[in-house]
């Protein structure tokens, strides 16, 4: 009954159980946080707007992104992944979502930021539908915990429009 093996086994089981319970509690404690993030995005300029040889439109945008995501951080937050996606509808596609800029926020101190950038990833349509197109800019964030469940949410900003002519 009280052999070495039994004691080692009991100790290991107990330690793993406690660790699992603590991880679960840390993850559940995230639910008590109700964040109030804010964001603004301006399109400063259309750097270029053209039609490729294969018939797809490409746009390069200059953007000004400012956001305050500090309230997303809790003690169980490892990082927040934030990205700005352009979202629009075309006759062929019910949804087109293209990430224009993204970043990793490692700590709460960096969660209030302001950045001026061109789009980091190519903004290419499937087809030639972008002239005069209305689009939404959406700031998404994905909260990666130290352990447990991941959270995601977004702020949709609408009312943007691309020019009628290529330039």
Partner 1 sequence: MGFVGETIDSIKSIQIRQLLSQTVSLGMIVTSALIIWKALICITGSESPVVVVLSGSMEPGFKRGDILFLHMSDDPIRAGEIVVFNVDGREIPIVHRVIKVHERKDTGEVDVLTKGDNNYGDDRLLYAQGQLWLQRHHIMGRAVGFLPYVGWVTIIMTEKPIIKYILLGALGLLVITSKD
Binding site for partner 1 (CB under 8 A): 3-5, 9, 23, 27, 78-79, 81, 83, 85, 91-99, 102, 104, 106, 121, 126, 140, 142, 144-150, 152
- Which CB atom, from 5 or from 159, has the smaller least distance to partner 1? 5
**Rounded least distance, CB 142 to partner 1, Å:** 6
Q: How far is the CB of 28 from partner 1 (least distance, A)?
A: 12
> Can you tell me the distance from the alpha carbon of 88 to that of 118, in angstroms, rounded to the nearest whole number?
19
41 vs 165 by CB, closer to partner 1: 41
User: Which residue's CB is nearer to partner 1, number 74 or number 165?
Assistant: 74
Nearer to partner 1, 49 or 123 (CB): 123
Question: For the CA atoms of 139, 145, 149, 150, what is the dihedral angle to 10 degrees?
Answer: 20
Is residue 113 within 8 A of residue 67, CB to CB? The reply is: yes
**Could you give the CA distance from residue 149 to residue 9 in angstroms, rounded to a whole number?**
29
Q: Is 138 helix (H, G, I), strand (E, B) or coil?
A: strand
């Amino acid at each position: 009954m009280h052999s070495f093996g039994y004691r080692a086994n009991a100790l290991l089981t107990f330690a793993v159980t406690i660790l699992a319970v603590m991880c679960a509690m840390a993850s559940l404690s995230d639910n008590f946080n109700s964040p109030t993030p804010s964001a603004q995005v301006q399109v400063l300029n259309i750097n270029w707007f053209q039609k490729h040889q294969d018939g797809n439109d490409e746009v390069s945008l200059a953007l000004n992104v400012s956001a305050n995501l500090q309230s997303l951080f809790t003690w169980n937050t490892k990082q927040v992944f934030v990205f700005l996606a352009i979202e629009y509808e075309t006759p062929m596609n019910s949804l087109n979502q293209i990430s224009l800029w993204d970043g990793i926020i490692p700590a709460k101190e960096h969660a209030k930021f302001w950045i001026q950038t061109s789009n980091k990833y190519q903004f290419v349509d499937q087809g030639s539908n972008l002239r005069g197109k209305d689009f939404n800019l959406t700031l998404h964030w994905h909260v990666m915990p130290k352990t447990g469940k991941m959270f995601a949410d977004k702020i949709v900003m609408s009312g943007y429009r691309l020019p009628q002519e290529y330039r």
